[in-house]
Amino acid sequence: MALAHLRLRTVSSLFKETQNRWIFAVARANQSSSSSSQHDHPRILITGGLGQLGTGLASMLRDKYGRDNVILSDIIRPTKAVKEAGPYLFADILDFKCLQEMVVNYRIDWLVHFSALLSAVGEQNVPLAIRVNIEGLHNVMELAKQYRLRLFVPSTIGAFGPESPRNPTPNLCIQRPKTIYGVSKVHGELLGEYYNQRFGLDFRCLRFPGVISSDTSPGGGTTDYAVQIFHDALKTGKFQCYLKPDTRLPMMYISDALRSLCEFMALPPEDLKQRTYNVTAMSFTPEEIVQSVRRHVPDLQVSYAPDSRQQIAESWPEVFDDSEARAEWNWAPQYDIDGMVDLMIERCRNQLK
């Protein structure tokens, strides 16, 4: 009886071992076939897709990886143009199940998490900023861990504070931001790096400066005066700036920002020395952008009425040091202030026609 029992146990453990080996082999095979397809044509989900960066990024990624491989999502009703450009789905980042369903049903490989309240608007509604920027991030982080997704979360110059060196601000230094936006972004950087070390999550993060684009209306940031100036200059010939004329901040034209993201996401994981990098293109003050815009609108009238955003701007980097991104994965911007202004004027003029 004892011998029979022993034999039975041996057979059953042998069976289990063989079964485990088989499961392991199938899992490995799936993993390697999915990682090569992930590499060639990853299926990408973008959250907060109707904010400043989403539609531009979707169009860049669709050119590279195929129209139907890039799914834009948000809680906002899309325009006809957005619907026609490629897949668009409703997704609330506070609803874990809804996100999980999308990742499973669309066999997502990469997740680009744009949903966030920006600096100025976050200060108006701190509880909402905590929900969207922190709880939403927890959802995507956990999802990316469970389904082994490559996860991109943008950070910002707003992740630094007055105690950080401000000119230039290096990749690694003290970070004591004074806005809920900045606090949530430092939290995201640290949690992502922790999940990377602890669970092997392929977390990637770029700290962006103020991004300038004509695609969307300014969305509640401190750097948005540098977008508003184009609309006001062309529509009314007048511009009132909520920052002082000599407030210097780092900035970037949108196509540089999106290109940096695409290049960074395409890097094989073994080529990444770090998970979080500063990227930038230029630094200017309101006075300097006014001079550049006056090359196109010579009679532009400007006044200054600093408000609560001045204090936020004064706690942020003046010049951003992105030398590590340049050295480690060849990051190089294309647009300087005049190149960016020329393009913005042309695009905003076309929109007014």
Applying CB under 6 A, the residues found at the interface with ligand AKB are 118-119, 156-158, 181, 210, 221-223
Question: Which residue, chain included where needed, has tokens 């009314």?
Answer: 236
Q: Kind and range of the H or E element at 203?
A: strand 202-208
By beta carbon distance, the residue nearest ligand AKB is 221
Structure tokens at 202: 């392929």
Out of 65, 88, 147, 181, the active site residue is: 181
Distances (CA, A) of 7 to 21, 91, 340: 21, 54, 77
Active site residue 181: yes
Minimum distance from residue 210 beta carbon to ligand AKB (Å):
5
Minimum distance from residue 226 beta carbon to ligand AKB (Å):
9
Minimum distance from residue 107 beta carbon to ligand AKB (Å):
32
Minimum distance from residue 279 beta carbon to ligand AKB (Å):
12
Minimum distance from residue 154 beta carbon to ligand AKB (Å):
8
Closest to 156 (Cα-Cα) out of 106, 131, 120:
120
d(CA 248, CA 234): 24
Measured from the CB atom, the residue of 98 and 126 that comes closer to ligand AKB is 126
Terminus-to-terminus CA distance in the chain, angstroms? Answer: 92
Measured from the CB atom, the residue of 132 and 143 that comes closer to ligand AKB is 132
Measured from the CB atom, the residue of 109 and 123 that comes closer to ligand AKB is 123
Measured from the CB atom, the residue of 57 and 71 that comes closer to ligand AKB is 57
Structure tokens at 353: 């026609």
> For residues 233 and 214, is the Cβ–Cβ distance under 8 A?
no
The DSSP output letter for 242 is S
d(CA 21, CA 28): 10
Helix (H/G/I), strand (E/B), else coil: 244: coil
Measured from the CB atom, the residue of 52 and 139 that comes closer to ligand AKB is 52
Question: Which residue, chain included where needed, has tokens 């200059």?
Answer: 233
Question: Which residue, chain included where needed, has tokens 């499961």?
Answer: 23
The one-letter amino acid at 268: P
Residues designated catalytic: 181
